[in-house]
Amino acid sequence: MELRHLHYFIAVAEELNFTRAAARLHTAQPSLSQQIRDLEAEVGTPLFERSKRHVALTPAGAVFLNETRLVLAQATRAVELARQAAHRQGSTLRVGFVPAAEVRIFPRVLPMLRAQFPEVELSFHSLTTAEQTEALLAKRIDVGFLRPPLDHPQLASTVVMNEGLVLVLPADHPLAARPDIPPQALQGVPFLRINPDQAGHALDDAIQAWLRQRQLALPVFQEVHNVLTLLSLISMGGGVTLLPEYAEQLTFRNVVTRRLSVPSQAVPLLLAWRKDTAQPMADAFVQLVQESLGWPDPAA
């Protein structure tokens, strides 16, 4: 039994006239009559009472009509749901990010994105730079906000923000009483370091360059893999660290930031995407970010 047989049956049942039903279905009446006979043979009972001037549903036909309408309605719903699922899949943008993007990029860009592309479903993934590079290549995310360097033939990127460094320390630390921190005040202070392989070497390079230029050798008290762990340790008095300026907008218990009296070199934040795959939504997102932030300079 095929769906077309059910359509034929419903047309005859509603018209109660084979000639009108055939015209409605754009088919020949003899063919329609044969299709109905085939259907009745498969069901195993007559569905219509026929005479030269009269067509009526049998009791079995009346029951079959109700059930047939339900079957066709369910089939139509199945098709529509499948199309909606395909549409949602094609309109989902998966975004990887480090905390800097969450704090300083998303508040400016996401309202514009939702206004221009209200049908797009956004999926956010908090990942380190190393995790984002892997996720981009594995096609688990479509775009990513991460730290350089990004050197892979399948990936492209553009700089979306540059930040200086600030000192992040416990609120009850003696240095927290100062409005800004001179380099020599950090001498001998226990230092927390984010693993550069996870956070991106550009951040670590900027920190180490600033320390070398100030002739500071801070003892590394502990090395961590993400910012959340870093802030947790600082809140417990476990040391201090240097982070890009986005840290000034973070709120974390017993953690404060202070500007450096001697500025550091800029730490870039990249927006990256795959360049060997057609990604209309990702391309539109990249263009929107560049326009809204005013950073058109390509880094790759």
Average pLDDT over residues 11-25: 92
158 membership: H or E segment, kind and range: strand 155-163
Shared domain for 228 and 83, answered yes or no, is no
> Which residue range(s) make up the domain with 205?
165-265
Structure-token pair, residue 275: 């360049």
Shared domain for 205 and 227, answered yes or no, is yes
Rounded to the nearest integer, the mean pLDDT of the chain is 88
Shared domain for 119 and 149, answered yes or no, is yes
Secondary structure string (H, E, C) spanning 91-143: CEEEEEECHHHHHHCHHHHHHHHHHHCCCCEEEEEECCHHHHHHHHHCCCCCE
Lowest mean pLDDT across 114-123, 153-162, 274-283: 274-283
Which of 89, 106, 128 marks a domain boundary?
Answer: 89
Q: Is 55 helix (H, G, I), strand (E, B) or coil?
A: strand
Q: Exposed/middle/buried for 42, CB within 10 Å: 0-12, 13-18, 19+?
A: exposed
Shared domain for 120 and 205, answered yes or no, is no
Shared domain for 60 and 209, answered yes or no, is no
Q: How many domains does the chain have?
A: 3
Cis peptide before 149 (omega within 30 of 0): yes
Shared domain for 243 and 254, answered yes or no, is yes
Report whether pLDDT(151) > 90.
no
Q: Would you place residue 83 in the very low, low, confident or very high pLDDT band (cuts 50, 70, 90)?
A: low
For residue 298, tell me if it sits in a domain: no
Report whether pLDDT(152) > 70.
yes
Report yes or no: 120 and 89 within 8 Å, Cβ to Cβ. Answer: no
The percent of residues above 70 in pLDDT, for the chain, comes to 94
Lowest mean pLDDT across 1-10, 88-97, 169-178, 223-232: 88-97
Which of 63, 89, 115 marks a domain boundary?
Answer: 89
| C-alpha dist (Å) from residue 203 to 29, 88, 151, 230, 236 | 78, 36, 16, 14, 24
Structure-token pair, residue 9: 């049956």
Angle ∠(250,179,264) on CA atoms, nearest 5: 70
Give the tens place of pLDDT for each residue, 180-230: 999 999 998 999 999 888 877 888 999 999 999 999 888 888 999 888 899
pTM above 0.75, yes or no: no
Q: Would you place residue 245 in the very low, low, confident or very high pLDDT band (cuts 50, 70, 90)?
A: very high
- 278: domain CATH number is 3.40.190.10
Could you count the other beta carbons within 10 Å of the beta carbon of residue 287? Answer: 11
Shared domain for 245 and 288, answered yes or no, is no
Give the tens place of pLDDT for each residue, 100-120: 999 999 998 999 888 888 888
Give the tens place of pLDDT for each residue, 281-295: 888 888 888 888 765
Q: Would you place residue 87 in the very low, low, confident or very high pLDDT band (cuts 50, 70, 90)?
A: low
User: Using CA atoms, how far apart are residues 186 and 184, in angstroms rounded to an integer?
Assistant: 5
pLDDT recorded at residue 85: 58
For residue 37, tell me if it sits in a domain: yes
- 8: domain CATH number is 1.10.10.10
Shared domain for 256 and 283, answered yes or no, is no
Average pLDDT over residues 66-80: 88
For residue 160, tell me if it sits in a domain: no
Q: Would you place residue 296 in the very low, low, confident or very high pLDDT band (cuts 50, 70, 90)?
A: very low
